[in-house]
Amino acid sequence: MSEDAKMTAHGMQKGLTSYGDPAFSLFLRKAFIKAMGFSDEALSRPIIGITNTASDFNPCHGNLPLLIEAVKRGVMLSGGLPMAFPTISIHEAFSHPTSMFLRNLMAMDTEEMIRAQPMDAVVLIGGCDKTIPAQLMAAASVDLPAIVLPTGPMLTGRYRGEELGACTDCRRLWAEFRAGALSEQEVEQVNSRLAPTFGTCMVMGTASTVACMVEAIGMALPGAGTMPATYADRLRLAEATGATAVVLAKAGGPKPSEIMTPAAFRNALVVLQAIGGSTNALIHFTAVAGRLGIPIDLEAFDRLGREVPVLVDLKPSGQHYMQDFHWAGGIPRLLQELREFLDVSCRTVAGETLEEVATRAEQVLGQQVIRTISDPIARGGGLAVLRGNLAPGGALLKRSAASPSLLYHEGRAVVFPSVEAMVRGVDDESLDVTPEDILVMQGGGPKGAPGMPEAGYIPIPKKLAHRGVKDMVRISDARMSGTAFGTIVLHVTPEAAVGGPLALVRTGDRIRLDTETRRLDVLLDEAELARRRAEWQPPPPPARGGYAWLFHHHVLQADAGCDFDFCRPQPS
Ligand code: FES
């Protein structure tokens, strides 16, 4: 088959296995697939691939079987042939050393399986933090018509009358346990209430943030970002997603590159600021944009942060949960409120403009979750980009989750040279630390840990927690869970493991955080920094080969989305 014919082939004829005789390849393929009982009529339909990311290790994807069944129904009702296929599944709590280490592996797996198997469009079903970013990275690289179906957020639980949810309340109650305010028995009881249904964490953590941004960027149907995982509405949404995939397959587009334009990325970043979303989402969307050759300008993102108000009152920055956001009107209602900051001419996978989506938004009288532009939660946005001699490539601070009194702070550095050293030392009774100090952790970046774990949420040293200290300035090249809170500077770039200035900081140095001027500086002169730089030794490369070797040698820094260098568009 000629290259032209390969490009225009559809359904079963796409991407034939190479046996040197295309007609035989098709004959063989059909012979095997008929073993599953398919008729020739079924095999002549447009094929819709469906990623099956179900796993016994992934409760966030616990509804996958039901979702796939509903997507298949939508595909069949619209004249397509649904074909589900497995890919890697990643759950946050079941990924050693960290899920971020595996995101690019999932992106490569998903990309190659979409490329390898014959499909005219693909439904990407993901949910837990790294899964949808990996799938979007794959979709951007393949550029086959694609639509995302998030698994949806969990419902909340209750403990002694209080509404609880993963994982902001996991952290808050664990901090109370560490401080001695909860007994061992109480914390065990709470453990069974924090994640009461399947679905993704129901606060505005990374999974919810990404799902909301996917809806805003136009890669999913309205409601997909917020509808609870367990509701029948999500199954109807899945059916509609399957039907939309068939429309995409028959029309041959729009393709991901036609939906995820620079303007659409900007819209998604506006929404990230307005929802007080997870810092991780910036890394993920930078990676997706990088696959399409679209640079994410950190300074422009910071300007959005100054202009766009935080409007959504959800934990960890606020008080409510995703189900409340959904019933308050969800993303369509938020888009309506944010109109002046958005390019509402951008189109979604369903062919609508954002203007049309926003106009249809449900109006819920008296709702308290989506605030108006004139009555925001906070006037400045959720995320601030810091620069300075400690972070020449940038660092991120989630302002909406920080203590206002610490947004300007100068203090003495207490340095942990690695994640392990922090874990060993932070609760040591002999640790010389005061509430005014700044906790610094090195070696938590993309290469350093490896995989940039969510260890940036350095716990308050136990002896200070027992005295009632709830927040301190903490700085690292690691990430933090989107469900966490505190005055925590993350993603310091370049990371310590590649010799970034963070590697040069020592206990006793003075550090200044000035959020208003967006500065993060260690108060050392250039001569001293140069002297320490000359003494610095890089850490040894990983002891094992395989994926760990590939990751170490090819992962990019946070400002490039931590993608692999070879996965970005290559110059021809
Ligand atoms: Fe899966 Fe939170 S652990 S979304």
Cα(88) to centroid(ligand 1), Å: 16
**Integer Cα distance of 252 and 465 in angstroms:** 58
**Integer Cα distance of 69 and 259 in angstroms:** 26
Band (pLDDT 50/70/90 cuts) for residue 344 is very high
The position carrying tokens 């050759």 is 293
The answer, yes or no, to whether residue 78 has pLDDT greater than 60, is: yes
Q: Rounded to whole angstroms, what are the CA distances from 276 to 128, 230, 312, 397?
A: 19, 25, 7, 11
Cα(25) to centroid(ligand 1), Å: 42
Token readout for 474 is: 């903490």
The answer, yes or no, to whether residue 88 has pLDDT greater than 70, is: yes
The answer, yes or no, to whether residue 121 has pLDDT greater than 90, is: yes
Number of H helices, E strands in the chain: 21, 14
Digit-coded pLDDT (tens) for 22-77? 999 999 999 999 999 999 999 999 999 999 999 999 999 999 999 999 999 999 99
Average pLDDT over residues 335-360: 97
The answer, yes or no, to whether residue 130 has pLDDT greater than 60, is: yes
Closest ligand 1 atom to Cα of 93: 3
Closest ligand 1 atom to Cα of 167: 2
DSSP sequence for 534-558: HH--PPPPPSS-HHHHHHHHHBPPG
The answer, yes or no, to whether residue 398 has pLDDT greater than 60, is: yes
Cα(119) to centroid(ligand 1), Å: 29
Average pLDDT over residues 174-187: 90
> In the chain, what is the straight-line distance between the N-terminal and C-terminal CA atoms, in Å?
24
**Integer Cα distance of 212 and 354 in angstroms:** 14
Digit-coded pLDDT (tens) for 546-563? 999 999 999 999 999 999
Q: What pLDDT is attached to residue 165?
A: 86
Q: CA quadruple 99, 67, 200, 241: dihedral positive or negative? A: positive
Digit-coded pLDDT (tens) for 239-254? 999 999 999 999 999 9
Q: What pLDDT is attached to residue 381?
A: 65
Pocket of ligand 1 (CB under 6 A): 60, 91-93, 128-129, 166-167, 200-201, 205, 207
The answer, yes or no, to whether residue 1 has pLDDT greater than 70, is: no
Token readout for 7 is: 């490009």
Q: What pLDDT is attached to residue 482?
A: 74
Phi and psi at residue 163, to the nearest 5°: -75, 135
Band (pLDDT 50/70/90 cuts) for residue 223 is very high
Burial class for 32, CB neighbours closer than 10 Å (0-12, 13-18, 19+): exposed
The position carrying tokens 């606020």 is 318
Among protein residues, the one whose CA lies closest to atom 3 of ligand 1: 92
Cα(281) to centroid(ligand 1), Å: 14
Mutate which of 90, 125, 129 for ligand 1? The one with the most ligand atoms within 8 Å of its CB, which is 129
- Give the closest residue to 212 by CA, choosing from 341, 329, 74, 292: 329
Specify whether the CB–CB gap between 354 and 266 falls below 8 A: no
Q: What pLDDT is attached to residue 60?
A: 98
**Integer Cα distance of 275 and 298 in angstroms:** 18
**Integer Cα distance of 305 and 302 in angstroms:** 5
- Give the closest residue to 493 by CA, choosing from 283, 242, 236, 229: 283
Tally Cβ neighbours within 10 Å of residue 516.
10
Band (pLDDT 50/70/90 cuts) for residue 383 is confident
Contacts of 20 (CB under 8 A, 6+ apart): none
Band (pLDDT 50/70/90 cuts) for residue 288 is very high
Q: What is the CA radius of gyration of the chain?
A: 24
Residues paired with residue 439 on neighbouring β-strands, in sequence order: 414, 474
Strand blocks (E) in 245-394: 383-386
- Virtual CA dihedral for 174, 178, 184, 189, nearest 10 degrees? -10
Average pLDDT over residues 335-354: 97
The rounded percent of the chain whose pLDDT value lies above 70 is 98
**Integer Cα distance of 165 and 283 in angstroms:** 25
Question: Residues 85, 88, 457, CA angle at the centre, nearest 5°?
Answer: 145
Cα(197) to centroid(ligand 1), Å: 12
Band (pLDDT 50/70/90 cuts) for residue 7 is low
Pick the more confident residue, 276 or 382. Answer: 276
The answer, yes or no, to whether residue 214 has pLDDT greater than 80, is: yes
Closest ligand 1 atom to Cα of 200: 4
What is the chain's mean pLDDT, rounded? 95
What's the predicted TM-score (pTM) here?
0.95
**Integer Cα distance of 188 and 171 in angstroms:** 14
The answer, yes or no, to whether residue 227 has pLDDT greater than 60, is: yes
Closest ligand 1 atom to Cα of 92: 3
Task: Label each residue of 334-365 as H, E or C.
Answer: HHHHCHHHCCCCCECCCCCEHHHHHHCCCCCC
- Give the closest residue to 511 by CA, choosing from 436, 416, 405, 438: 438
* Burial readout 411-441 (b: 16 or more C-beta within 10 A, e: otherwise): bebbbbbbbeebeebbeeeebebeeebbbbb
Residues paired with residue 410 on neighbouring β-strands, in sequence order: 512
Band (pLDDT 50/70/90 cuts) for residue 6 is low
Specify whether the CB–CB gap between 267 and 346 falls below 8 A: yes
The answer, yes or no, to whether residue 439 has pLDDT greater than 90, is: yes
Going across the sheet that includes 395-398, the strands are 383-386, 395-398, 488-490, 474-476, 438-441, 408-416, 510-514, 519-522
Domains of the chain by start residue, with CATH: 45-155+197-359 (3.40.50.2300), 157-191 (no CATH), 383-539 (3.50.30.80)
- Give the closest residue to 356 by CA, choosing from 375, 336, 371: 336
Q: What pLDDT is attached to residue 565?
A: 97
The answer, yes or no, to whether residue 2 has pLDDT greater than 60, is: no
